[in-house]
Structures are given as C-alpha cells and as structure tokens.
Amino acid sequence: MNRRRFMQMTSGVFATLVMPLGMLQAQPYASPVSAENVALFLRVSEFLTDKDDLKLIVAQRALSNLMLEDSVLIDKLRELDAAIIQSGLPNAVAFSKSVLMQNAQIADLAKKITKAWYLGYTGTPLPFTVSDDVRFVTYTDALMYRPTLDATIIPSFSREKPNYWFNPPAHLMNQRS
C-alpha cells in the first residue's frame, strides 16, 4: 500500500465514522425568514420598545432565533400585531398597563421580543449547566447599552487586570464618609 492510498482510506474512514457524530450533536441554527415576517416582527418590536431605529439584521436574527423556540411564533406575532392595532394604544407604556397584558400568551410573547432586543439573546440561561437554549442575537446593538452610551463604552474586554473592579479606585479610598 502506498502513501496516497493510505491517506485516501484514512480520509474515507474519518468521513464515514467521525463526521456523522458531529452532525448528531449539532444544534439547529437560525433559518432565513421571509421579508414579510421580518417586517411584521420589526413593526411589533418598534412598538414594544418605543424605538424607531431598530436594525433590520438584528430583527432577522432575533426572529429566526425565536422561531426555533416556538414553531407557531408567526401566528402568535400576527395575533399580537392585530391586538395592538385594534386596541389603538399609543405606545409601549400604555400597552404594558393595558388589559392585553393580562392575556398570558400576549404577555409572554411581548416579553420574549423585548428581552431579545434589550439583552441581545433569546432563550433562558440555566446557571451551572453546560447547555441551555440561549441563542445569540447581538452584543453591541443590545438596547440595554443605550441609556449610558454617552458616559460608558460597550464593554468588550477587560481594560485592567482581572478583577480590577473589585477594589474601589485609589482616589475614593482617601475620602471620608
């Protein structure tokens, strides 16, 4: 057996035995969504967040991830949109205080959508576990950073040594209470 034949056989064995194991463990990834559904999701999201500058690409990611959690999400989204339009509510604050939020299905969907925009992920993180259903949507465009954007930067790395935040700054140590 020559070297070339050995490499071909080894590659074939790897492809037939090892690769299927990786495919079995793979989690489903977000699938593309229709432009109509993204437009609907964006309209509802803009209402729920009181923001009119939400990014389309983030809406696509959030909707795709939410659809992986709930196979009938689009039907629920259409019902939520119709309920919002029919109620004539002017904004999210009025919506959150309305009787619509007493409907568990509407309240749950509204919270999931808002959470995806503000936290930048979908799903529920489970502490002290290896896996959960959390799926990434965005980091830098998460709405939770907007209120302090003029005073702080979006943290992406430690600007000091590990645990630099643990001790108060030196100038505060010299102040008396």
Q: How many CA atoms lie within 13 Å of 146's alpha carbon, on the beta-carbon side?
A: 13
pLDDT at residue number 79:
97
Q: How far is CA 74 from CA 39, 42, 78, 113, in A?
A: 12, 12, 6, 12
Residue 50's domain spans which residues? 35-140
Pair of tokens at residue 75: 């039907």
Q: What is d(CA 34, CA 134) in angstroms, rounded to the nearest whole number?
A: 23
Residue 129 lies in a domain: yes
DSSP symbol at 167: S
Residue 21 lies in a domain: no
Residue 175 lies in a domain: no
Least Cα distance to 51 among 62, 40, 43 occurs for 43
Written as tens digits, the pLDDT of the chain (177 aa) is 777 777 777 776 666 666 555 554 445 555 678 999 999 999 999 999 999 999 999 999 999 999 999 999 999 999 999 999 999 999 999 999 999 999 999 999 999 999 999 999 999 988 888 888 899 999 889 999 899 888 877 766 666 666 666 666 666 666 665
Residue 114 lies in a domain: yes
Instruction: Give the count of domains, the chain.
Output: 1
pLDDT at residue number 165:
62
C-beta of residue 110 within 8 angstroms of C-beta of residue 77: no
Torsional class of 19: left (φ above 0), alpha (ψ -120 to 50), beta (otherwise): alpha
Q: What is d(CA 117, CA 144) in angstroms, rounded to the nearest whole number?
A: 8
pLDDT at residue number 73:
97
Pair of tokens at residue 11: 């590659």
Residue 127 lies in a domain: yes
Q: What is the pTM of this model?
A: 0.71
pLDDT at residue number 129:
80
Residue 23 lies in a domain: no
Residue 162 lies in a domain: no
Sign of CA dihedral 53, 55, 60, 64: negative
Chain centre to alpha carbon of residue 177:
42
pLDDT at residue number 172:
65
pLDDT at residue number 25:
47
DSSP symbol at 17: H
Pair of tokens at residue 128: 């002290």
Residue 120 lies in a domain: yes
Amino acid at 43: R
